[in-house]
Chain A
Amino acid sequence: SQQGEEDPQALSIQEGENATMNCSYKTSINNLQWYRQNSGRGLVHLILIRSNEREKHSGRLRVTLDTSKKSSSLLITASRAADTASYFCATGGGNKLTFGTGTQLKVEL
C-alpha cells in the first residue's frame, strides 16, 4: 500500500503567503525526503531529513519530522509564482524510496 499520504491534495495561495503541506506515513523510516515536480518535468530533490532530526531548513523551506506521529510537514515561506508545482514526500527505508500521493500547489499573482 502507499506509504505516504500528503495533505492537502491541492492548495491555492497568493504570492507572498506561506504554504504548508503535510505528509503521513505508516512504517518506520531512516529518512524522509521532499521533492518538487513542475508540470511536465522530472522530480527535483528539495530536502532530506533523517529520522533522528526534528527540523531542517533550506532557504525558504522548513521541514519538520515527528516520528512518534509518523508525520512531516513542508513549509514554504514567502511563496512565489515559480513555486507552483506538485510536492511529494518520499520515505526512505530498506532499499527503496516510497513516494506519497503529492500536493499540488498553485501560487497566484
Chain B
Amino acid sequence: DTAVSQTPKYLVTQMGNDKSIKCEQNLGHDTMYWYKQDSKKFLKIMFSYNNKELIINETVPNRFSPKSPDKAHLNLHINSLELGDSAVYFCASSQDVVAGQDTQYFGPGTRLTVL
C-alpha cells in the first residue's frame, strides 16, 4: 500500500551513461514532482507535472528529461551522466495543481552515484 514508490533505490553507474528512475503514486493525485537532494541535504525542485503536463522546469540541464505516461507515473531519464549528478532524487505528489498550496507526499528516494 505504498503511496509514492520509486525504483531503483540505489543506482551506481559510470560517467557518460544514460539511466532512468521510475516513480509511481497510488494516491490519485494530479501533480507529481522530482527533487534533487545534494550531500548537504539541500532539497531543490527540478520538475513538476500536472495531469501529464509540464508546469515547472527549474533550469535543469536538458540532459534530464522527465516523462509522464499518465498522471500516476513520472519517470526521470538522465543522459550522459556527470559526477555532479550524484545525489538523492526524490519523487513527490500532491493533490493541488498549485504546488505551494498543498501537502506533498514523498517517495523513499533514489541514491544515484556516478563514478
**Contacting residue for A97 out of B90, B100, B107, CB 8 A:** B100
Confirm or deny: A41 has a beta carbon within 8 angstroms of a beta carbon on chain B: yes
Q: Which residues of chain B from 92 to 115 have any CB-CB distance to chain A below 8 Å in the complex?
A: 92, 98-109
Contact of A30 among B44, B100, B107 (CB under 8 A): B100
Assembly CA distance A37 to B37 (angstroms): 12
A88 to B105, CA, bound (A): 14
Q: A88-B43, A98-B45, A99-B43 are in contact. Are A42 and B99 (CB under 8 A)?
A: no
The CB with the most chain A CB atoms within 10 A, among B40, B92, B98, B101, is that of B101
8 Å CB interface, B1-50 against A:
4, 40-45, 48
Interface size on A, as a range, is 20 to 34
Q: How many A-B residue pairs have CB under 8 A?
A: 64
Chain A residues contacting B87 (CB-CB under 8 Å) are: none
Asked if B101 and A42 sit within 8 Å, CB to CB, the answer is no
Q: How many residues of B contact A (CB 8 A)?
A: 25
Contact of A45 among B42, B105, B107 (CB under 8 A): B105
A85 to B17, CA, bound (A): 34
A43, B106: Cβ atoms closer than 8 Å:
yes
Q: Name A's B-contacting residues (CB within 8 A).
A: 2, 29-31, 33, 35, 37, 40-45, 48, 86, 88, 91-99, 101-102
Write the residues of chain B forming the contact surface with A, with a CB cutoff of 8 angstroms: 4, 40-45, 48, 55-56, 58, 90, 92, 98-109
Give me the 8 closest cross-chain CB pairs, A-B, nearest first.
Answer: A92-B100, A42-B106, A99-B43, A43-B106, A45-B103, A96-B99, A42-B108, A93-B100
